[in-house]
Structure 1
Amino acid sequence: MAEFIRGGAGVIPVTKEKLHGSPSTGSDDGQDGLAVDEFDPFLADNEEAESSNASLLVAPHENQWYHGRLDRYTAEERLYEASKLGSYLIRESDRKPGSYVLSYLGRTGINHFRITAVCGDFYIGGRQFDSLSDLIGYYTNITDLLKKERLIHPVPPPEPVNDKKRIVAILPYTKMPDTDELSFQKGDIFFVHNDMGDGWLWVTAHRTGEQGMIFRDLVEDLADNIDPNTVFSWFHPNVTKNDAVDMLVKSGPGSFLVRPSDNSPGDYSLFFHINNQIQRFRIEKKGVRYLMGGRTFECLDAVINRYRKEQIVEGHTLIQPAMNEEDESFAKPKEIDHAEKIYATLRECREQVGLKKNKGIKMQGFLNKKSEKNKKWKSMFFVLLVEGSDTHLYFYDNPKRTKPKGLIDLSCAYLYQVHDSVFDRPHCFQLVERALPCLATITYLCANTADLAQDWISALRPLCITQMTRSPKVQRLRELKCLQLHILDAHRLPFKLVPNPFCIISLNQVKVARTKVKTGLDPLFDEEFLLDDIPPDVLSFTITVYNKGKRSKDTEVAELTVELSSLTNGDEVDEWFKFSGITPIGEWGSLRLRVRYLHDLIMPQEEYSPLQQLILDPSLEVVRALADICHLDRIPLANSLLRIFRHERREAELLRSLNEAEIEREQETSTLLRAASLTTTLMDLYMKSVCTGFLQAAIQDTILKLLETKQSCELNPNKMDSPDDACANAEFLLQILDEVTLSIFMAYDSCPKTVRYICGCLQRSVMNKWPNERLVKTRVVSGFIFLRLLCPAILNPRQFNLIAEPPPPMASRSLIMVAKCLQNLANLVEFGGKEPYMEVVNPFILKNKERMVVFLDTLSNVTEKPEPDEARIKGDPARDLGTLHHICCSHLSELQALSKEQVGIHELIITAFWSSIHSLK
């Protein structure tokens, strides 16, 4: 409904959908017959206003539920006096000033929920809010606080609370670049959120609405009776309504001013002179924010700046403020005669500011975090902080920032590892916050190396929720659960409902692994997963079948659950398991699984000391024996052995000895070190963990180029869009191959010295055994460097942390072509008649054969064992020794057969036996 207000300039339409009272027209409050009207305009772009934060618009005012600093007992008394289910209040903690508590009276009685306040943000239940009003609005209108319970009845304090501290700048300041500091002028007023320590405060500037840090010595406290908006030239706290009209008449059309509202204390009135009219607009104060026209603003100045640029009523914007030079309501800051001393103190304290210098820091560094909005990974700086009973993981855009982008409360978090298959990248794990019963917040994190991931997991796990309560007799022991799961094939899935099935494996409804998408009536998955370090409270695993949507979302179709108690510890099971459907339609088919479940208790590390000595014995007799008999346990055995030896910085000795033993057994050079053995698995794991820098220097630029280009490298005519593309594709492929080989050959010095030393040992060993075969020393090194490292990294760059997102289809095919060509070059063979379209690459191979030989000889030219390239890894030796102990017990009969000939194996059996006795005590 539009109402027309008449004035000297004619008729001006004003929208009236959201009036805060009836308009007053005429000369009661006016001057010289000018019309004066007060309302909240609902402007032409009301769709934007409707979409503004709904929780702010409908949340009760802070005065209705905020009680200031209050103890738990008094808070509970006030809630009981209200005697209504759904009653609530927010209070500042009396035990920990600066943090807040939401006290709520529900069906189960009174609950107190901690609210963590950091740098102007508020965290509860794994969610982040800009203000307490936002938080109240969210749990009032958007979601439940407890199951089927929301905030309903605010409990007001006995008298209004005003504990918001305000300060005023006594000196100006210009911020340091790339920090969270604020620049400000003398006289600026701030609202204080947090004391950061070391003389720094986290504040909101009233003039700009910006949040940031300021130094305490640059400000002084501001009296409660002074309105913070006094810093603005257009604000007049002591001007009457009639005086305001007089000032605007003198200032002329387009002038404006703001004064406190008479009708609504705490709010403000904007007076605006439009030709022969004075119109008044109400600006509502909501906590530390301002509302006008259905929009939310950070500060009063933001309201004025918006309507200086946009129409406040049709055809009119705010132009010039009405000035009142006689208004002395605001006391100017005093002059400071020791300013230089204050600035000098500030410079000394700058380096000590923020959480990242806190004594409670247990670990800090960069991790990749998956964004909830765009699903992409972003590198962020993480700080693990322990302060008393509070344990938080903060994350920042960069180390210079003081205000975190968010935090994770570890006191209500569970840690689960994530299999590489979920995001097609390694070294991922997740923290699942369950602070509130009806909300679980999941944060996915990823490290750039396996060692870094293990270091973070080792630091975080003890601080997360203990996922099972144990009896006092076994509190000194830790559980080790491991699941080897091989999803083979499905039978009689309803094809019409599931034309493109894939499976997701979950533990406690937390997704930890997934298969690739398949097609066909009875899809063959044939995918194997090793789920290591399963949390102790996990009693079953669930496999859910989804259908991959082409344009719509993936749909959940059926599931099966396997109880871990139904599996015999250490034994392999190969069975069909029936699905149950999400909707009952009859037969849902079944899934064939091959499962091996390991469950053991880990003792303190000192209990494994005899086993550790046998494993680390220079003869490596025990390691070689385990390599020969533990084929099913090859991967967990390799992981544990590598971590144990790297913890002692003896990885070079382990890898060199096992390589030499395998070369000694081999009779044919064509199959040398090509099979999947403990030796090759150890080499794969080690190279992948330490060669990230080498991969970045050698191939990352080429991979990024193929991702960005629109030109394909495809040579297979059956996969080309058009046969006419063959020449251009071949030319581009040869160009890429020249570039990537040059990059690889130039990057030899980036390869870790330990890897190069092991390659040199390989060359010397094969030359001693096959002295007349010139190329064997080249192929033995290229088999590892190219076939097991560089080519897999080119084929799956995301799994090696070289790119953040999956490559598009054309780039994937180009990467396959490049890897295929480098593989032949590494084998020193040209393409033959089976793939005639690849023969165009043969001149490239012939040209680079000798260069390949020289490169691999140069890379392997390290004759003395170097110090390990990395610092001693932290790891968890007890966990890895516990794994080895369990493997020994699982293969006891094979070890007993070997012990008749090898003394060291006999000692191993005795050691394993006594360790088992100790674990039972």
Structure 2
Amino acid sequence: MLHLCNSPNYDPELESCEFYHPSHREERVEELKSRPTGTYFLRPSAKSRSVSVLCVNCNDAIKKFEIERIPGGFNLSGKAFRTIDEVIQRYSVKYIDEKNEVKLREPLLRRSHAASNLPQEDIYAPNRASSTQIRECQLAAEFHCLFPKRRSRQRAWKRQRCILHRRQDENHEVLITSSSEVGRQPKGKPKGLIALEFAHLYPVCHGAYDRPHCLQLVIFNEVSANSTPPDVYVLAADSQAVLAEWLAALKPLCKCSKVCNHGQRSGHVRHVSTLEVAVKGVRNLNVSCKTAFVAVHFNGVVVAKTRSNRREQDDDSVLNWDEQFHFEFFPECIHTLSLHMTRRKTPKTTKVMKHDVRVSDLSLGRTSDLKVPAAQDKLQLCFSVRRVGYAVLQASKDYVPIRDIFLKSKDDPTECLRALAEVCTSEDLTYLARAIYKVFAYYDQVANLLTSLLLREIQSISSESEGVLFRTTTIGTSVLEVYLVTDEPMQFVRHCLGEMVQEIVNSNANLELKADRLLHSSGEMSDLDEADSIARRNAARLIELLNSCMRRTLRHCQANGCPAILHQVSVACQQETTRRFPQATARVLSAFFFLRLFCPALTTKFRQVFGAELHQEVSPQVLRSLQLAAKALQLFANQSKTMREACMELVRPFVCENTDLFNQLNACLTASPDPVAPLSAGSSADAPSSSSAGAAAAAASSSPSDLQNISLTFELASVHDFCARHLDDLRNLQTRSGSQNLNTLIKATEFLSNRLSNETNR
């Protein structure tokens, strides 16, 4: 007994011979199934030292009961006990499982109690960690944390400090301490821990938790994974930089989130895939269901939610969302994709419908358009899923020929990219633009790429087709749209439109301009003249908000607040547009800033832009008010004197009286003495930009060296995949044009495809 007390794993409250180490739980569970009903054993919880687990054989089903340590004793199912022996004695007389009438009968005894059989590792070492032990950590940051629900407690966000800690056995875990200990070393044991060798790192898209910059760690119960919900730990960072740093550190450490290597040469081929889900809408909606939203689940874990949408009229049986969710890292352990449609976002809301999609049924690199009928009222949910993945992904150096063709090609640097965009379908064009943008962003060449593509587009349009300039979907405008959803342009939009959006949302303003809609939505209003009067007052308030918004935008741009890349590209395009089309001097301002930046931020990209600042659900009338504001900005951008919609005649003063303001904006945003030069032959592609180099260094510090360029490698593999799938079309195009650059691209694609095939076979 004295020898036992000297063991670091000894606990005087847990000296019972039926108490097992958590590493033996799988073996003991299998042995317990073969024992009579009422047989039991105890083990400490793998998550917290203050919790023990009582496993009982209840008619050949293993049930677990958590015994929580409290001041002065223990707690089981709301009842307090001084010792664990009292727990055993009580439920040897009373039913522990009243439904099956099961009492505790005999323990599953350990074969030996000697100290030599006790594990040599101290499993609670991190919990007993002192300040000197925690000081040697890899990462430390503050998060808003959402922990798994315990008993009747509600899940709530708490400000905590998280520390990435490495144990003596080379495994890692996240220690959670109190937020009040920021700025000094924590003392005593942490508030909790997450063992990363048991955790899955799941992606989080916007809308899942109504907070930005989120990641979630999921721990499944391996014994009863089908019946017990997983424990989900959600961490919301303060900035995108902190989130990126933690994701780069956690990916190589979490279970099933590591990049898998295959093949004879170590680290030369890997499994990587991404997923994009587009929720379109629902058809044949029941009249009783006026409000609904759709949640996306991976293996039963929510990863994204659409906005709550409401039908405007009872006879309208169609509800549209048109939201896209892009998951850049898609772990291989995810095998089921589920879509849940419910009426509200509350946890206890009953589901209207649910549909499961097996990931193995999705075609790689293809878009699957699905229409799912429900069992009731002919309800039909429409959505599309696109999975982009590679059975093998080669090392970064193998994609250098593909990279150099787009970054260092002679004569016309954008020729191959424009040719590839010409043979791609409209669906593939968006994915091609995203991959090309990320490759050029890695080498800090985004401004040169955009300038070259857009200048080429201006030069290719005839004088008779001036009306379609920057209005159609091309590879240039597609890459521009990818850039406009990055952090710097989004911050510019929030600064320009943020005050107007906050005022409309906080006041729950209804700025409806259609008298018919006002008359229909209000049960107390019965006179059309009264509705017209209210519509005019709404128009006056909307014009006041828009005037304030545009003046704020002008002041911000005069103070050099415009994003540098967008400003440089606008200057170069404005000079070429003025030379080719003197009558279209405002085309760059209207297309780049208003139609592709401001208007989408108020409509389709509203949650993506302003979701971090708005923690409450936005009402349908507020969304309608923002939609009317976007329409007014669209008329302002086009300087339209005639209105297609009769209700928009009420905002004509905003367009007509602010012509001088529009000209000042045009002069400020498209005038600069130092425009950026277009992409030239032999552009530097040997060294990444400073920001990309920092990201690569962060990844290298937390992962093996062959994984530091995994993001760049995946994007280059995406470009190669586009070339391989459209190789016949590229050959036909090269035959007609005789382009030497296209010939080089075709040869590089064929060589890389053959090498990829050999690696797969090996």
* Same-fold status (TM-score > 0.5): yes
- CA contact 1:558–1:588 (8 Å) conserved in 2: no
- Residue 738 and residue 543 in structure 1: after superposition, are their counterparts in 2 closer, same or farther (change >3 A)? closer
TM-score, length-scaled by structure 1: 0.58
Partner-residue secondary structure (3-state), 2:585: helix
* Cα deviations by residue, 1:647-693 (Å, 9 ceiling, x for unpaired): 11111111111111222223323222122333222212212212233
Which residue is 1:646 aligned to?
441
Residues 334-376 of structure 1 deviation map (CA, whole Å, 9 limit, x = unaligned): xxxxxxxxxxxxxxxxxxxxx6xx55425x6677766889989
Task: Confirm whether residue 716 of structure 1 aligns to residue 514 of structure 2.
Answer: yes
Aligned equivalents of 1:790 and 1:496: distance in 2? Answer: 35
Cα drift, residue 826 of structure 1: 1.6
How far residue 768 of structure 1 moved from its aligned partner, in angstroms, is 2.0
Return the alpha-carbon distance in structure 2 between the equivalents of residues 551 and 578 of structure 1.
Answer: 24
Matched, 1:107 2:42: no
The offset of 1:766, in angstroms, is: 0.7
In the alignment, which residue of structure 2 is the partner of 1:323? none
The alignment partner of 2:130 has SS state of: strand
Q: Which has the higher contact order (CA 8 A, sep 6+)?
A: 2
Which residue pairs with 1:761 in the alignment? 572
Kindly indicate whether the alpha-carbon contact (under 8 Å) linking 2:274 and 2:327 is maintained by their aligned counterparts in 1: yes
| Residue 661 of structure 1 pairs with residue 456 of structure 2 | yes
Distance apart, 1:849 and its partner CA: 1.3
Cα gap change, 1:88/1:702 in structure 2, threshold over 3 Å: closer, same or farther?
A: same
Counterpart of 1:906 in structure 2 is: 743
Flag the 1:815–1:665 CA change in 2: closer, same or farther, 3 A: same
Q: Match of 1:415, SS?
A: strand
Give the alignment partner of residue 671 of structure 1, picking from 456, 460, 468: 468
**1:488 shift after superposition:** 5.9
Letter in 2 for 1:730: A
2:633 matched residue in structure 1: 822
Please say if 1:736 is aligned against 2:736: no
Tell me the equivalent position of 2:420.
626
Per-residue Cα deviation, 1:506-560 (whole angstroms, up to 9, x for no partner)? 332223345565776676776655554321223343334x341599943235444
Matched, 1:512 2:303: yes
* Contact 1:753–1:866, Cα closer than 8 Å, also in 2: no
Structure 1 CA distance for aligned equivalents of residues 661 and 272 of structure 2: 49
**1:435 shift after superposition:** 6.7
Q: How does 1:208-607 map to 2 (within 5 A)?
A: 358=135, 360-362=137-139, 384-386=164-166, 388-392=170-174, 400=183, 408-420=194-206, 422=208, 429-434=215-220, 437=223, 438-444=228-234, 456-467=246-257, 473=264, 476=267, 477-485=269-277, 495=286, 502-514=293-305, 517=309, 530-544=326-340, 546-549=341-344, 553-574=348-369, 594-600=384-390, 601-607=392-398
Contact map agreement 1:824 1:831 (CA 8 A) in 2: no
Distance 1:715 1:527, change over 3 A: closer
1:800 aligns with 2:591: no
Tell me the SS of whatever aligns to 1:430: strand
User: Are residue 70 (structure 1) and residue 7 (structure 2) matched?
Assistant: yes
Shift of the 607–382 alpha-carbon distance from structure 1 to 2, 3 Å rule, reads: farther
Residue 871 of structure 1 pairs with residue 691 of structure 2 = yes
Structure 1 residue identity aligned to 2:497: I
Instruction: Flag the 1:714–1:573 CA change in 2: closer, same or farther, 3 A.
Output: closer
Change (3 A) 1:195 1:551: closer
| Equivalent runs, 1:32-111 vs 2, <5 Å | 70=7, 82-83=17-18, 87=19, 106-108=28-30
Question: Closer, same or farther in 2 for the Cα pair 1:762/1:880, shift >3 Å?
Answer: same
* More deviation, 636-645/377-386: 377-386
Deviations 1:670-729 (A, max 9, x none): 222122333222212212212233223322122222223365433332344553534543
Partners of 1:794 and 1:744 in 2: CA distance: 15
The partner residue of 2:660 within 827, 850, 862 is 850
Find the counterpart in structure 2 of residue 196 from structure 1. 131
Matched, 1:789 2:597: yes
Q: CA deviation at 1:747?
A: 0.9
Q: Structure 1 residues 808-817 or 896-905, which shifts more? A: 808-817
Give me the whole-angstrom Cα distance separating, in 1, the residues matched to 2:607 and 2:278: 23
CA displacement 1:34-63 (0-9 Å, x = unmatched) = xxxxxxxxxxxxxxxxxxxxxxxxxxxxxx
Residue aligned with 2:513, SS: coil
Q: Distance in 1 between the 2:596 and 2:52 partners?
A: 46
- Give me the whole-angstrom Cα distance separating, in 2, the residues matched to 1:783 and 1:70: 73
> Which secondary structure does the structure 2 equivalent of 1:911 belong to?
helix
Distance 1:479 1:378 in 2: 36
Q: 1:680 to 1:196 in 2, by over 3 A?
A: same
Work out whether residues 427 and 450 of structure 1, in 8 Å CA contact, stay in contact via their aligned partners in 2: yes
Select the residue among 467, 471, 496 that pairs with 1:698: 496
Give the whole-Å Cα distance in 1 for the aligned partners of 2:283 and 2:619.
32
Structure number, greater radius of gyration: 1
- Give distance in 2, aligned partners of 1:699 and 1:673: 23
Q: Secondary structure at the match of 1:462?
A: coil
Question: Helix, strand or coil: the match of 1:561?
Answer: strand
Q: Which residue of 2 aligns with 1:257?
A: none
**Which letter does structure 2 place at the counterpart of 1:602?**
L
Deviation of 1:877 after TM superposition, in Å, equals 0.8
For the residues of structure 2 that align with 1:151 and 1:865, how far apart are their CA atoms? 81
Contact 2:418 2:475 (C-alpha < 8 Å) held by counterparts: no
**Aligned in 2, Cα 1:717/1:395: closer, same or farther, shift over 3 Å?**
farther
**1:815 deviation in Å?**
2.5
Distance 2:255 2:345 in 1: 39
Q: Classify the secondary structure of the residue corresponding to 1:633.
A: helix
Describe the shift of the 1:814–1:575 C-alpha distance in structure 2 as closer, same or farther (beyond 3 A): closer
1:743 shift after superposition: 0.7
Task: Report the equivalent of 2:716.
Answer: 881
Distance 1:446 1:666 in 2: 47
Taking the aligned partners of 2:587 and 2:103, their CA distance within structure 1 comes to 68
Q: Is the 8 A contact 1:757 1:863 kept in 2?
A: no
On the 8 A contact 2:202/2:216 being kept in 1, the answer is yes
Alignment of 1:617 with 2:408, yes or no, is yes
Q: Secondary structure at the match of 1:535?
A: coil
Matched residue SS, 1:803 = coil
C-alpha distance in structure 1 between counterparts of 2:230 and 2:483, whole Å: 36
Supply the distance in 2 between the matched residues of 1:480 and 1:135 (Cα, whole angstroms): 52
SS in 2 for 1:505: strand
**Matched positions, count:** 624
* 1:102/1:114 contact within 8 Å kept: no
Aligned to 1:777, what secondary structure does the other structure show?
Answer: coil
Give the share of equivalent positions with the same residue, in percent: 21
Contact 2:310 2:319 in 1 (8 A): yes
Contact kept? 1:697, 1:750, Cα under 8 Å: no
Distance 1:552 1:646, change over 3 A: closer
SS for the counterpart of 2:672 is coil
Within the alignment, does 1:751 sit opposite 2:541 as a pair? no
Segment of structure 1 superposing worse, 702-711 or 364-373: 364-373
In the superposition, relative to structure 1, how do residues 193 and 451 fare at CA in structure 2: closer, same or farther (>3 Å)?
Answer: closer
> Quick check: 1:103–1:112 contact (8 Å CA) kept in 2?
no
Q: What displacement does 1:905 show?
A: 2.3
Match of 1:316 in 2: none
Residue 839 of structure 1 corresponds to 649
* Superimposed CA distance per residue, residues 143-199 of structure 1 (whole angstroms, 9 cap, x where no aligned partner): xxxx9999998999x9xxxxxxxxxxxxxxxxxxxxxxxxxxxxxxxxx9752129x
Q: CA deviation at 1:763?
A: 0.2
Is the alpha carbon distance of 1:794 and 1:193 closer, same or farther for their aligned partners in structure 2, counting shifts above 3 Å? same
